[in-house]
Amino acid sequence: MPAAPVRPGCVAPTLQPMRAVMFDMSDPEFPASLAEIPEPELPGPSWARVEVTTGGICGSDLHLFAHNTGPSPTLASIGTFPFVLGHETAGRVVEAGVNSAVAVGTRVVIDPCIPCLPRGIDPPCANCARGWTSSCLNLDSRIVSSGRSLGYTMDLGGGWAEGVLAHDSMLHPMPDAIEDSGASLYEPVSIACHGLMRAMPIDGEPVLIVGAGIIGLASLAALRGLFPRCPVTVLARHRHQGEAAIACGVDHVVYSDPDNEHWEELASLSGARVVGRKRHQMLMGGFPFVIEAVGSPASVTEALRAVAHRGSVLLLGAAGISEVDLTPIWYKEAALVGSIDHTVDAHSSPGLAGAPDRHSVDRALDVLAAGLLPHAAVVTHEFGLEDYREAIGTAIDRNTSHAIKVVFRP
């Protein structure tokens, strides 16, 4: 396929091999490797080439290495193998197609989802026509790209690489207030912003976040920006996570206790009481809104047991096949709401960036620009691509490393 033309006055760079961390299972002891791959050509005139400045390691990436949330075999058909890793990507445009609206030199972050518009599918699928691009029905079409999104494709580069390609509709210019070292945080915050628009808490009512990893902290930041009157409690496993939550302005931190003593503290904070025995305790009453931010069977069960009657549990932790206690859903008449990726949400919130019809990535950039997720408190480790094994190990072994957010700086 020929390279797309560039704007007058913009010289297309000579394509060179680039380094990328690939999930290829070439080493039986470690499923990823650092490879040198051909730099891809622009697929069309509305595409741009981005030099990656920061690529985050996401919890969903770690599922590939740690196998800690249960598999999701139902998604196996919408990916490709091998693929370039990394979907939390910030960088600078170095080449723009002739129809691109984003100028060379612009600092951008990227919505990794590749729905109908970037693929050139016209008419779009029913969900894209509704504006539900995160639920595009053609993510498995293999048109333009063999993967469903950046970070799961071989054709377009990725965040764990020196470069990546993106369609204009995927590019979001970055405010000057956001530093490169914290720029990849937009992605988990956008995940939280879209989820909160899917199932909105009532501003002023208490919220519990189960998990104080990066999704939990990003959810805290999104809540502080979009629903600023909601008091937020975070249930954390590790002390360094609780300290980060405090730095991000949480109202209460409760630490998970192996003997389940934390249930009494949660009950006190929510005006509930504890029922059940030993490992099977539940709040009678509880929190009207709960965000599950881990994806493990234990955390999903804990979120359901902590929710109030007719409350909502927002599932952000990308759980797969696992055994969880569903009793609270019917016993408490609770709602379990799923959410994925990023899109324009036609709902408003009472706080920052609350206007309707706003893309979740842009809401997230407003949250970061306001300093609600200080990168100094959450970006704990930076690595070059050549140190990918150490980076992944650091992100997995949080007990030893005290890692919260680990990023690559290609």
Q: What is the pLDDT of residues 317-334, one digit of tens each?
A: 988 888 999 999 999 999
Portion of the chain with pLDDT greater than 90, in percent: 82
Same domain as 162, residue 236:
no
- Same structural domain, 392 and 342: no
Answer yes or no: is pLDDT of 3 > 50.
no
Rounded to an integer, the average pLDDT of 48-61 is 95
- Whether 180 is covered by a domain: the verdict is no
Here the tokens at position 291 are: 């965000």
Considering the domain architecture, whether residues 336 and 237 belong to the same structural domain is answered as: yes
pLDDT surpassing 80 at residue 289 = yes
Q: What is the pLDDT of residue 6?
A: 43
Nearest partner of 168 among 235, 232, 111, judged by Cα? 111
Mean pLDDT of 179-190: 96
What confidence score (pLDDT) does residue 386 get?
97
Chain-centroid distance of CA 177 in Å reads 21
In a domain, 159, yes or no: yes
List the CATH number of the domain containing 386.
3.90.180.10
- Digit-coded pLDDT (tens) for 10-48: 545 567 899 999 999 988 889 999 999 999 999 999 999
In this predicted structure, the answer to whether residue 279 has a pLDDT above a threshold of 80 is yes
Does 5 have pLDDT greater than 50?
Answer: no
What domain range is 332 assigned to? 188-346
Residue 154 dihedral angles phi and psi, to the nearest 5°: -105, -10
Report the 10 Å Cβ neighbour count for 265: 17
More confident residue, 260 or 234: 234
Greatest pairwise CA separation for the chain in angstroms: 71
- Judged by average pLDDT, the poorest of 62-76, 215-229, 268-282, 322-336 is 62-76
**Domain assignment of residue 64, yes or no:** yes
Q: What is the pLDDT of residue 1?
A: 38
The pLDDT value given to residue 72: 64
**Cα distance between residue 286 and residue 273, in whole Å:** 8
Q: Identify the pLDDT of residue 382.
A: 97
Amino acid 322: pLDDT:
83
How many Å apart are CA 347 and CA 361, to the nearest integer?
Answer: 14
Residue pLDDT, tens place only, 217-254:
999 999 999 999 999 999 999 999 999 999 999 999 99
pLDDT at 15: 73
pLDDT for the residue numbered 355: 83
| Domain shared by 285 and 390, yes or no | no
| In the predicted structure, residue 299 carries a pLDDT above the cut 80 | yes
Tell me if 6 is assigned to some domain. no
Q: Once rounded to an integer, what is the mean pLDDT over residues 364-384?
A: 96
329-361 burial by CB neighbour count: b if 16+ within 10 A, else e? Answer: eeebebebeebbbbbbbeeebebbbbeeebbbb
Residue that terminates a domain, selected from 325, 346, 367: 346
Q: How many domains does the chain have?
A: 2
Does 125 fall in a domain? Answer: yes
For the stretch 85-133, pLDDT in tens is 999 999 999 999 999 999 999 999 999 999 999 999 999 999 999 999 9
330-348 tens-digit pLDDT = 999 999 999 999 999 999 9
Distances (CA, A) of 10 to 4, 13, 95, 104, 146: 12, 9, 7, 8, 29
Report, as an integer, the average pLDDT of 162-173: 98
Question: Given a cut of 50, is residue 7 above it in pLDDT?
Answer: no
Higher pLDDT, 3 or 122: 122
Structure tokens belonging to residue 60: 């969903």
Residue type, 58: C
Average pLDDT score over residue span 68-80: 62
Tell me, what CATH number does 322's domain have? 3.40.50.720
Does residue 206 lie in a domain region? Answer: yes
